[in-house]
Structure 1
């Protein structure tokens, strides 16, 4: 049985922090692969994405193409509508019964877990890997026991980069060189994403 990490999110745009998070989880938690699943419409985000779902998918494909342990799935884009982790997990477990799955989340999202759609059922299907950052320590003691039981923590190097910061830099004409993979930056410039 292969152990698969799930990196979900808007990836608007994907950046080196996402890649470092995925590699940290893979190395520290013994994952065989990490699957990136760009969301069509995330339920807990207030802002609309800056690039459309297909563009975000293609940027993630470009970002991970040289890593044999990373792959990208478009299942949430194909399904459309609000992207609930439960629906994605149920589809993955049904389609790949020979694998075990763990959602990779930042320590800032750990305490949000009880708010996730159908969280008790989701926790029956998958485990969770919480990536702790020194500036945002995890506080799992406040979680229900059924979630604490399914949660592993791993320390991640501090990376002070967010997709929001990158979009703001791009819209104001500032450089984001080295914050995103070169191929992704080329796509952003070529297609005029985020006002470039």
Structure 2
């Protein structure tokens, strides 16, 4: 199988994440998309980050009815912070029968040179890149391992959603109903 790996904090998972994951699964040559819940992104602060198991559970609930999407806790068992190259190496070793592709937004491609061993990522893996608002051209735009995927441009942020929850404002239509119920039940982000 050819599998796309979509990394994220998913704090919380929202419609933007789901639209991108589903678009990748339905409009490209990928058989599945695995959503990799990152316990700690080396480029993000830990503040307001829910426990990884809670974020994993929210992703699981959000994608439960889609056979082409899976959630993975593989980074929970790796040293922190999580570096993409290390996770990719472990996944490729553990699931050698599959071909893996890294899914990323064009905003991340702009800062790709800051990633640990970005040259090795490009040597061994293809990148499927989706558009993000206000993205600029990069040195990798025409790289043979970079494939641009036409996907809806989503400008929804988990930060905005957390602020809405904190202010007791509705997040309806931004987050799946099952995830809203989970957030309310656990009193997250309040």
- Cα offsets for 1:13-39 (capped at 9, x unmatched): 000100100111222321100001100
Task: Report the counterpart of residue 72 of structure 2 in structure 1.
Answer: 73
Distance of 2:104 and 2:20 partners within structure 1: 9
User: Which runs of 4 or more aligned residues in structure 1 lie more than 3 Å from their structure 2 counterparts after TM superposition?
Assistant: 135-138
Deviates more, 1:153-162 or 1:82-91: 153-162
Contact 1:40-1:80 within 8 A present in 2 as well: no
Contact 2:166-2:189 within 8 A present in 1 as well: yes
Contact 2:40-2:46 within 8 A present in 1 as well: no
Task: Report the counterpart of residue 171 of structure 2 in structure 1.
Answer: 176
Tell whether 2:146 aligns with 1:143.
no
Q: TM-score, normalised by structure 2?
A: 0.93
Structure 2, unaligned runs of 5 or more: none
- Cα offsets for 1:56-90 (capped at 9, x unmatched): 11111111111000111101112241011011100
Tell whether 2:184 aligns with 1:189.
yes
Q: TM-score, normalised by structure 1?
A: 0.91
Aligned length: 190
The DSSP-based 3-state class of the residue aligned with 2:2 is strand
Alignment of 1:18-33 (within 5 A): 18-33=17-32
Contact 1:110-1:139 within 8 A present in 2 as well: no
